[in-house]
Structures are given as C-alpha cells and as structure tokens.
Chains A and B, each alone.
Chain A
Amino acid sequence: MIKAVMVINTQGKPRLAKFFEYLPLEKQQELIRNVFGVLCSRPENVSNFVEAESIFGPDSRLVYKHFATLYVIFVFDSSENELAMLDLIQVLVETLDRCFKNVCELDIVFNYSKIHTILDDIICGGQVLETRSTEIMRAVEEISKLEAAPNAITLIPKSSSGWLSR
C-alpha cells in the first residue's frame, strides 16, 4: 500500500503532505525534513528511487519526481511496483495540469483542498483507486460546479512558465 504522498518545493517547504497511516505531527515534519535532506543531495540524472528504509522503517520504498520547483514524492511498500508508482506521480501531475491549465507551485498552495480532493480520488486508504485522469477530472468538476458562487474570487497570480517538465 501507499504510505504517504508529499509535495515539497526545492527549498524544503512542504506544499502537500498526506499520510495514509496516522503519524503524530512532529513525526510527519521529521519525515518531510529527512526526505528533503535525501532528495536535495541527490545528483541530477540518477534514478527516481531512493532507499527509504532508514527514514520510514522496514519495507518502504520511495519514488520521487522533480518538476521545476517541486518534488513529488510517493512512499509505499513492496506490494507496489516502483515504475508504476512513477507513473502514478505522472497521473497526479497530469490531472493537476488539466485541472489548472499549466499548473505551477502556487496553484498547489492556493488550491490546497482541491488537491486533496484529487488525491482522494486517486488513492483511497493507501490503495490505487483510479488512474484515469479524465475520470478524476469529472469528479472534481462536479464539485467545482457546486462551488460556483456569486462571490468574486481574487485572481490568483501565476508564475510565467509551466513547471510540468516531461
């Protein structure tokens, strides 16, 4: 099963953290720090996998992907396939991209609850539930429709370039 999903920016600030097994707050922060410590010391052009047993305990693997200013990180156990998890990151990011049209770090920060909604659709109770981004989009839009309201919403500034590097 998947143990955790994290999005950390390249300065080490967590942008999203979801743990599928409950962990106390301090432990979560410690794990995020440790993961960032490992990731930022990794050179370019190496594999997307990291030995995570020293951070997350036995039977845990970590797959990450580096997009412009963000690391997207999945932590899971041996019942998942590393390469498939890498693609699940891709699914998540593609969905976000569809959702926000050229998604950037700020989108994730400002649409915190929406990202969680998307993640809840992809992963449920630590198991991969849905991998079709169209389907996820449909579910999210349905909720967005309800959201539509008369109140004006401030326009969110976006960074000029997309961060989705493929």
Chain B
Amino acid sequence: MGSQGGFYQSKEFLDLVKSIGEARSKAEEDRIVLGEIDTLKRRISEPDIPKRKMKEYIIRLVYVEMLGHDASFGYIHAVKMTHDDSLLVKRTGYLAVTLFLNEDHDLIILIVNTIQKDLKSDNYLVVCAALNAVCKLINEETIPAVLPQVVELLAHPKEAVRKKAIMALHRFYQKSPSSVSHLVSNFRKRLCDNDPGVMGATLCPLFDLITIDVNSYKDLVISFVSILKQVAERRLPKAYDYHQMPAPFIQIKLLKILALLGSGDKQASENMYTVVGDIFRKCDSSSNIGNAVLYECICCVSSIYPNPKLLESAADAISRFLKSDSHNLKYMGIDALGRLIKISPEIAEQHQLAVIDCLEDPDDTLKRKTFELLYKMTKSTNVEVIVDRMIDYMISINDNHFKTEIASRCVELAEQFAPSNQWFIQTMNKVFEHAGDLVNIKVAHNLMRLIAEGFGEDDDTADSQLRSSAVDSYLHILGEPKLPSVFLQVICWVLGEYGTADGKYSASFITGKLCDVAEAYSNDETVKAYAVTALMKIYAFEIAAGSKVDMLPECQSLMEEFLASHSTDLQQRAYELQAVIGLDAHAVESIMPSDASCEDIEVDKALSFLNGYIQDSIEKGAQPYIPESERSGMLNISKFRNQDHHEASSHGLRFEAYELPKQTVQSRIPPASLASTELVPVPEPMYARESYPTTTVSSASSDAGSTELKLRLDGVQKKWGRQTHSPATSTSSTTSQKTVNGITQVDGSNTSNSRTRETYESRKQQVEITPEKQKLAASLFGGSSKTEKKPATGHKISKSSSYMVEKSHVPKSSMEIASEKKAPIQQPPDLLDFGEPTIQSNAPSIDPFKELEGLLEPTTEVASAKNHSSTAAATKSPDIMGLYTDTPAGIHNKDDSDILSGLSNPPVTHMLDGTTRTQVAQSSKGPNLKDSLQKDALVRQMGVTPSSPNPILFKDLLG
C-alpha cells in the first residue's frame, strides 16, 4: 500500500502537485499556488484539525514555499507541531521549521525549550530530529541553552546520535568558536570512537580546526596515518565499501587533513609517504570514486613536503586524467596539474597538447579551468601568448563576473611579466576597450602613471617614444564608437599631457579631438572633466611655448556650456581654463610646467608664503590669529553668563555642534602646484581618495585618517607598473647590463622574448607541416621546455605571495633546487620579472608600437652577447639572469627537429626526480628525431591533428 513506503499523502495534495505540474505558464502556476495558499490559510486555523491532516498541511506549506511563495502565516503552526508528542508529527514540525526559519527568527525562542526536552528523550529518533534542528536553528545566543545536552549526547549508545551530536558541536564551533573552545578536545576523543562512521564524522570538525591552526594538531599525524592505512587495507566493515572502494569518503577527508598537516613539514610528511604511495597503487582508476581518491592523493602530494616517488605517481595519475575521454577527469587533471606545477613546473610540458585541447574544448567549465592553469604558469616567456588568448576569450564571453576576473588577471599578468612597456600599453588598451567598465579604476591610474613616468630612468628618448606611441594609438582608438568611461579618462589625460609633446600633432588637432570626446560622451561628467583639464594643459603648453592661442570655435562653445554647467566641478575647471588662457607665458609656465606630472610637490604646511600678507593686514589693524585651544577657552568664558543654561544642557541633550576635528586645519594647495594635481583632475574628495592610494602604499593608510593628502607624493614608494622596483635597483640592474654587455643598445633591443618569437617564426618558415597546436604549445610551454626550468620557478614564486606555502617547503634534497628556491627570496621579486624586459625597454627603436612586429633580426650575435652578459650578471643573481639569456641561445643553435622533440617529447620518467633533472634536461636536448615523429603520429591519432585549423589560435604566433 502507498507508494512503496512513501509517507502518507492525501488525494488533495496529489491533485495540487499534478495541476502544478500541468500548468503551462508561470502565471497559471502562480494562480494555482495562490489558491492553495488561500485554502491552507483557511483550513489551518480551523479548530480541532486531526494531527494527520495538520501534518499534511504543513508539508503542503513547505512545498508552496519551495515554489517561491510566502508561507509565513503557517510558521507558527509548524512551531506548534514540534511540541507534539507523536514522533511523526514532531518530525514533520522539525522539518518544517528547519526549512522555514533562520537562526535569528523570532519564533526560535519558542522552539529552544522543546529542543532541550527532546535532546533528553529516550527515543533516539526524537533526539536525532532535535539534533537536526539544533544544527540549523541554534544561534550564538542560544548555544548555551543546549550545549550541555549536546555534549552529553557525544557518549550516546546509538552511533547515529553520536554522529549528529558531533555535527551539532561542529556547527556551534562554526557559528561561535569561543563558545565551544573548551570542548574542542571532544573531537579528538571521538576520533577513537568504536564506530567508523562516528570517526569519519569527527574528521569534518577536525579538518576545520586544523585549517585554522595546524600546529596544535601535529601530534595527530601518526593517528591519521594509521587510520588511513587501516581504511586503505580494508579493515573497516564491508558496509563501508562504496563501489568496491573501502570507505572512500573517509579516505578523502583524511587525505585532505594530511595535506594540511604535512604542508611545509618534512618530518610529518615523511610519515605519510608510505600510506599515500599505497593508496596511489590500490586506487581503482576505473570508477569515479576511485579517481576522486586519486585526485585527493595528488592534492596531498602537492601540498606536503615533496617526495620524488610520490610526485612521479601523481604525474602518472594526472596524465591518465588528461588522457581520459571524460570531461570530468580532464577537469580534475587540469586542476591537479595546476597544483603540481607549483612544485615541479616541468611536468606541464608532458601535457601541453592535452592542455591546449582543453582550451579548445566546447565545455566552458573546462575552458575556464584551463585558463586558470595558464594563469598559474605564466612567465615572461609566454605572457604574450597567454594574455592574448585570455583577452580573446574575454571578448567572447558575456558573463560579467568572469569577464571581470579575466580582465583583472590580464592586468595582473601584464603588470608582472610585461616584456615591454609598449606591449603593456597595448594590452591595457585592449582590456580597457572590451572590459573597461569592469576593471578597477586603479588600473587606469596605474597606466597613466606608467606612461608619465616611463621607465623611471635617465633614458628620455625611450620615454618620449612610449608616450608618442601611446598618443598615436589613442588617437586611433578614439575613432571607435562607445568606449568605456575609464578608458576615455586615460585617453584624455594622456592626450592632454603628451598630445602635442613631440610636435607631431598640432594643438588644434588634439584640442579638436578632445572637444569631440567631451561632446560625444556628454553625459559622463568625469570624462568631460578630464577633457577640460586636458584642453587647459594643451593651451598652457602652447602659451608657455610662446605661440599664439586660438581657441577652436567648438571648444569655445563647449567652454560656454561648461561655464554654466550644473556641475560645480566642470564649472570650476572651465573658469580655470579661462583664467589660464588670459595669463602671460611666464605665469602659465609656472602653473603648468610641461611634463611635470610626476614631479614631487613641496607642500608648505606652515603657509609661510602668506607671512607678508598677514603682516600687512595686522599693520592695517586686523585681529591676529588666535590658536584654537585658546579660542575655546575664550568661548567658555563668554558662556560664563548663561552658565545655568549650560549646566542644565550638559546633563541632558547636547545642543551645541560638536567641535571640528583638529585635522581640518590643512594647508591649501599652492596655485603653483596645479599642474601636478592633474593626475587626478576630479576634485571630489571621494574621488581623490579613491585614486591616490593607488600611487602609494603609505598614503593609503594615512588617507584613512581623512587628512587631505592630494599632494603628498614625496618620499613615497612607487607602486605599480614597471616602477614596482625602486629606482635604485632598476638602475643598477640595467647599468650592469649595459656595461658588461659591451654591445650597443640596438642589440639590446632583442630581448630573449622577442628572440623566442623570432625563432618560432623562422622555424615555421622552414618546417612547413609543423602541427599548429605544437606551435601554440611551444609558445606556451616554451620557456620551460628549453634547457632550464629555473626561470619558471623563480617566476612562479615571485609571482605572488599566494605561494607562501610553497616557499615554506624546505626544498628537495638536491642543491640545485635549493638555490632555485633561494634566489627569489634574496631579491625583490620584481627584479626577476623585469630583469629581462629592461633590456628591451632601453631600445631606441623608431616606432615602438611597430617594434613587436619587426622582431626578425639576426640573433646569433645577440646570443653570444647575451651569454657574455649572463656571466657578468651572474655576480648579481647567479642563476636567474644567466638562465634568461641562455635559453634563447640554446634554441637558436638547435635544428628544428631538435626543438620539436624537445617540445613534444619531454623526459617523462625523470621529470620528477629533482636530483637528476639537469642531466635529463640535457639529454632531452639532443636530437631525437624518431621520438618526435612518433609523437607527431600519436598526436594525429589522438585527433589533435593540424587538419582542424584554428586561425585565432595562431594569429599571435604568425604575427
């Protein structure tokens, strides 16, 4: 009878469900549900409803609420049901309240008492139901009311109750750690519970506790390892098997815990090696759950202190994942790869084709995961390809959330690894153009500052080339319709500051463009403000240069409009512009010095330049200034007369205004500093505070104190773009390059990066049928597939502090890795990132924006020069510099089949063995034509054929 054990339902409910199921539109469904709500409202308040009927009503209410309709009129009835004596009615009541109410609902107070009673019940089903409710409904304030009972239940004879009691305690811990901190030891005790299920449940809270504080639980490593061992050896009852795996969920939790405990702890990790190795062997990779355990093993291995053997097993498992047809496994494989490359970056090479396949996969989830992986393995050799791909993908998607994420990642990568400033600006332009409204405003200020400061060195020609190329590109981009506001701000600023600097464009041309912008985006006040200020700068430069200024008619009409603008900001700017135009050349020059946006401004806080004026006024009989402290004393005296009133008010409400905060006494901006404030021309206080922290770390903190900081740029660490490293370091690195290279700067323009590209292109010309994918692979994985892996590691580590964990690993036994790990710690990370690009940045090429295309220069000479420089540079950073320069030289000397084999046939077996790595790398360098042919055949077999061309894919390689 019944629906095979289903709980009792009435015909009415079935009809309701059926009619809702048959509803053809949302409106029809809503109508049915509203009718149902009416019925329920009526029925539920009738007196003497049979319990069974009431129970059904409540279920129907739950159902109605799931469909998105408010059922709050019935909450109180659900609460009443929890008081019932009948278990079934009570359970329904608890179910309903857990679904209806949140922990802060007013009705909870009516349930707490019932819960207290039920927790003491003899019937374990009642206790379980109450514990379920405890998990959901007890908040921080009510925890003490039930805590004693819950703790008692930890020793309940029924294992189901013990499990739930642990979960309830865990929940308390999540909600308010302090309220149960004295009970945490109970979790340890329960770890030794006779019942494996309870033990398994205990792992959940322990995992949380260990995540927060690893060190207090190091003593449990041995216990966890032995539990895991027993589980893996099938010592648990058969009932815990799932798809022929012994208690896989417990294994997974344990592996997660071990990963936490072994992270950066050699001693603890050594205890785990055996058992993790065992699981690797025993795992059945044909079932889903087996792969889940395998994946968790990989995560564990990549987290604990590295062990070559385990890393090898992990790499094997990853390659099985990636080769699988299942998208799920590929996804897990990509994820696992991302974890493992932190430890052994060279492993990525083996899977380059698989990774590229995933990038092309129709499955969006997989694609995104792969981009995440690429993001993790970006370094200066492949940044261009990766960022280009990311931008292409960013343009193709509509999901704003992910667009924002990709945009910010592009910006981050570009800032860290940009091979040249030109490339950086181009990339930023693309990001702004397609996701301008999604990126942080700071990025825009960053870009402006980069353009303004150039390289922060004495090489002015390169700086001005950078600027004029930026101006060129912006004038070009302005032709596009509908640009994001942030991008327009950058454009206006750059045009104002540098539009006429190189004399290529006339002032009237630039001002015309600026007026166009202000007109085209007439509802964007910020853009208009930027445009007006840019106009002012252009005119000021013209006046300072002694030429006559003729305002364009459209500019004049624009100014008239702004002079009457509703925005006081625009108005002020327009008036300022008017005033500036009326001044003589000398005055204008001191107000708006050309190219002075980065100059520090001295702020005379004492306002000493006003002394003469004050003196005059005092002589004329003005009152001298009375300091605030004295002034308030006077006020008290003056108030003395109405003291009574004052007394009275001091007890009651206070009617006087509060004193002004002390800090409001601030110096005004001296007019001479106008030009430099233009970096952020919008004077709203919010805005200024927004933008200035981007320039400095220190000011960001002091800004919080709401002191007006607009001008305090002195003595401040430069924060972004290439300027991340302090001028001192950057100069030293470049000068060492210059002097030791002994070659001209023109040669220096061939960075290893550009040379890498060049070799790919030349290779393409020679080998006609090279699979296109391999080429992408080469550009992605190229850096690491060449002779050395160290630069990669250096970059990985230096990339961000998120790898702190990894850093804390003591390196593998081999000396080589030790040095590799140390290198980035000794030096500021950015030095590594930009050490190479600096060479190129010094290049005085004719048109920097075209430079990227014109990279086909002879490289042999450079290669030798580089080798030379590498030895010299070695004095400073023994490994890193040398490696950069070695890499491209190595490629160039090899013939094409070598490169291919090097790329497509990585030394799989030895990859993980730290001690033999160098040798392996050497051997892989040698000619291995046969292998490469085999690999190529395999690639074709696997369907990774060049017959499926993808034009976008190789655009970046073919130039």
Question: Which residues of A does B touch, CB under 8 Å?
Answer: 13-14, 16-18, 20, 22, 25-26, 28-29, 42-43, 45-51, 53-54, 79, 81-84, 86-88, 90-91, 99-101, 106-107, 109-114, 116-117, 120, 124-125, 127-132, 134-135, 139-144, 146-147, 149, 151-156, 158
Contacts and interface: CB of A to CB of B under 8 A. Distances in A.
A152 to B, nearest CB: 7
Contact of B99 (A18, A49, A135, A142): A18
Contacts of A99: 4-5
Interface stretch (B288-296, B506-514, B621-629, B943-951): B288-296
Given A153-B2, A156-B14, A91 B242 contact: yes
B8 A84 contact: no
Contacts of A125: 135-136, 167-168, 170-171
A99 to B, nearest CB: 6
B743 to A, nearest CB: 49
A25 B65 contact: yes
B826 to A, nearest CB: 33
B409 to A, nearest CB: 14
B87 A151 contact: no
18 contacts: A43-B362, A47-B365, A51-B402, A79-B207, A81-B296, A84-B289, A100-B6, A106-B17, A107-B3, A109-B17, A112-B59, A114-B5, A127-B170, A129-B163, A129-B167, A142-B125, A143-B88, A149-B8
Contact of B363 (A47, A87, A117): A47
Given A46-B365, A91-B242, A128-B204, A83 B5 contact: no
Given A79-B256, A124-B163, A155-B1, 17 more contacts: A14-B66, A29-B68, A46-B361, A46-B365, A47-B326, A47-B365, A81-B252, A81-B296, A101-B4, A110-B17, A111-B9, A114-B6, A125-B167, A125-B170, A127-B204, A129-B167, A135-B197
Contacts of A128: 204, 249
Nearest to B250: A131
Nearest to B295: A83
B288 A86 contact: yes
B65 A131 contact: no
B366 A113 contact: no
A147 B14 CA distance: 18
Which residue among B1, B91, B136, B249 has the maximum number of chain A CB atoms within 10 Å of its CB? B249
B9 A83 contact: no
B292 A81 contact: yes
B66 A17 contact: yes
A13 to B, nearest CB: 8
Interface of B, secondary structure class, is: helix
A145 B66 CA distance: 27
Contacts of A81: 252, 256, 292, 295-296
A154 B248 CA distance: 40
B331 A130 contact: no
Contact of B87 (A14, A43, A91, A146): A146
Contacts of A146: 87-88
B521 interface: no
B469 to A, nearest CB: 37
Contact of B63 (A112, A124, A140, A155): A112
B103 interface: yes
A143 to B, nearest CB: 7
Interface string B1-28: 1111111111101100100110000000
Question: Among B4, B21, B59, B330, which residue has the most Cβ atoms of chain A within 10 A?
Answer: B4
Contacts, number: 204
Which of B66, B91, B102 counts the most chain A CB atoms within 10 A? B66
Nearest to B1: A153
A116 to B, nearest CB: 5
A162 to B, nearest CB: 13
Interface string B392-412: 000000011110000000000
B332 interface: yes
A144 B201 contact: no
Interface string B101-124: 011000000000000000000000
B330 A47 contact: yes
Interface in B343-398: 361-366, 368
Given A84-B248, A84-B289, A128-B249, A153 B95 contact: no
B5 A141 contact: yes
Residue of B11, B164, B361 with most partner-chain A CB within 10 A: B164
B746 interface: no
B3 A155 contact: yes
Contacts of B7: 111, 113-114, 144, 147
| Best-surrounded residue of A50, A81, A129, A140 (most CB of chain B within 10 A) | A81
Across chains A and B, which 3 residue pairs bring their CB atoms closest together, nearest first?
A54-B401, A83-B292, A22-B102
A143 B167 contact: no
B90 to A, nearest CB: 11
A130 B163 contact: yes
Given A46-B366, A83-B291, A99-B5, A147 B88 contact: yes
Contacts of A135: 197, 239
A27 B774 CA distance: 47
A51 B292 contact: no
A100 B168 contact: no
Given A87-B248, A132-B239, A25 B288 contact: no
Given A87-B292, A112-B62, A112-B63, A144 B68 contact: no
Interface string B252-272: 100010000000000000000
Contact of B95 (A47, A113, A131): A113
Given A112-B62, A114-B6, A125-B135, A51 B163 contact: no
Nearest to A61: B365
B164 A129 contact: yes
A42 B402 CA distance: 17
A106 B136 CA distance: 28
A57 B402 CA distance: 12
A111 B291 contact: no
Contacts of B63: 112
B88 A83 contact: no
A48 B167 contact: no
B328 interface: yes
A134 B135 contact: no
A128 B131 CA distance: 15
Contacts of B160: 139
A123 B91 CA distance: 17
B339 to A, nearest CB: 12
B3 A83 contact: no
B9 A110 contact: yes
B226 to A, nearest CB: 22
B67 interface: yes
Nearest to B131: A124
B240 interface: yes
A106 to B, nearest CB: 8
A12 B204 CA distance: 33
Interface string B228-252: 0000000000011011000011001
B70 interface: yes
Contact of B249 (A110, A131, A149): A131
Contact of B68 (A16, A25, A109, A113): A25
Contacts of A155: 1-3
Nearest to A33: B68
A46 to B, nearest CB: 4
B132 interface: yes
B67 A14 contact: yes
Given A47-B330, A124-B163, A127-B170, A116 B8 contact: no
B841 interface: no
B327 interface: yes
B52 interface: yes
B327 A45 contact: yes
A64 B328 CA distance: 11
B331 A153 contact: no
A112 B328 CA distance: 31
B3 A110 contact: yes
Contacts of B401: 53-54
